[in-house]
Structure 1
C-alpha cells in the first residue's frame, strides 16, 4: 500500500522497514514458479523472516524522493499475524510522511489563486460531462494538450536560457522528485511549439 497526495504524485509514500542493526534492507524476491523472472517487493510485510527473508524490527515512513522518517515504530509480527496485515497499525509512518508532504508543499511554488480556481472549475465541469458527452471531454482534452504543447516548451526554454537552476531546485519548486522533474523538462524540451 502506498500513499499519494494530489498534485504531488511523484512523492509516493510507503511504510519502510529497518532491521535490528538499523539498516534498511533491499527488496525481497519471490520465486513464483520455474521461470527466470522473480517478483520483488519492498512492502513492509514481506520482511517477516519467512523463507529466509530478513526480519524487520521496526518501521518508518519513506518517500520516493529519498526522504526517510526519523521516528521508528516497532513491529510486532505476532500481532500482525493475529490481526491481519491490512489491520496492522501503520498510522505512525503515514503521519510522518504527511508531515514531510506538508514541507514539500510549503516549498513548492503555489498556483495563482485565479488559475487554481479555473483548474478546479474545469475539473468539476469535465467530471459532469464525461458520462453523458465523452466526445466533448475529448475535444477539451485536445485543447488542453495544445495549450500544454505551447506553454510547456516555452516555459522550459525560458527557464534554461535565463539561468542555470539546479535540477534539485526545479524539483523542489515544482513539488516533485528530481527524477520526475527531469523527465518533465526533457519531455517539454523535445516538444515543438
Structure 2
C-alpha cells in the first residue's frame, strides 16, 4: 500500500509505517522460506503483528520516502485487521496526513505560470481525444512535443547549472529529492 502523485513520483511515495511501543520504527521483517540466494523481506505495517518472530506494532503513522514522518500517531487495533486482507484496515487518516505533506511540498516548489499550466491541461485533453480519433496524428504531435520539451529542458538544465544553485535549492524548487533532481538535470543536460 503506497501513495504516490504523478508529479513527484518516487521522491514522495507515502505509506503507513508501523511503530513499536517505544515509538521506534522496526526494521524489515525477513521471511525464511528455505534455501535460496535471496531472503524476502517486508516493511509493510501489517507484518509487525507479533507472529513468526516479528515485533508487534502498537501504532501507525504516515511516512514518505523523502524522510518525512507524520506527527500524529494512530493506535493500531489488531482485532480490526483482517489477516487475509490487511490493506482493508482504515488508514485514511494517515493518507490525509501524507496529502498535507504533499501540499506543503507543492507550496514550496516553483509554481508554474498560470498560462503554461492551462496550456498543458488543454494539450493533455486535446491529445487524449486525438489519440482516440486520429492516433497517427496524435503520435506525430507527441513526437513534435518531445523535440520541443527536450530542447527547452536542455536549455533550462544549462541555465540552472550556470546559476550555481545548491542541490538543496534545486530539489526543493522541483519538489524532488536531491538524487532525483540530479538525475533530472543530468537527463536533460545530455538529451538530444
TM-score by length of 1: 0.89
Greater shift in the superposed pair: 114-123 or 183-192: 183-192
In the other structure, the counterpart of 2:93 is: 92
Task: Quote the Cα distance in structure 2 between the aligned partners of 1:30 and 1:135.
Answer: 49
Cα RMSD between the aligned structures? 1.9
In the other structure, the counterpart of 1:50 is: 51
- 1:110-189 aligned within 5 A: 110-162=111-163, 164-189=164-189
Residue 49 of structure 1: how far off its partner (Å): 2.0
In the other structure, the counterpart of 1:59 is: 60
Matched, 1:190 2:184: no
Greater shift in the superposed pair: 133-142 or 146-155: 133-142
Mapped contact 2:82–2:88 kept (Cα < 8 A):
no
Unaligned runs of 5+ in 1: none
Task: Quote the Cα distance in structure 2 between the aligned partners of 1:90 and 1:22.
Answer: 18
Mapped contact 1:60–1:92 kept (Cα < 8 A):
no
In the other structure, the counterpart of 2:7 is: 7
- Distance change (3 Å), C-alpha of 1:191 and 1:6: closer
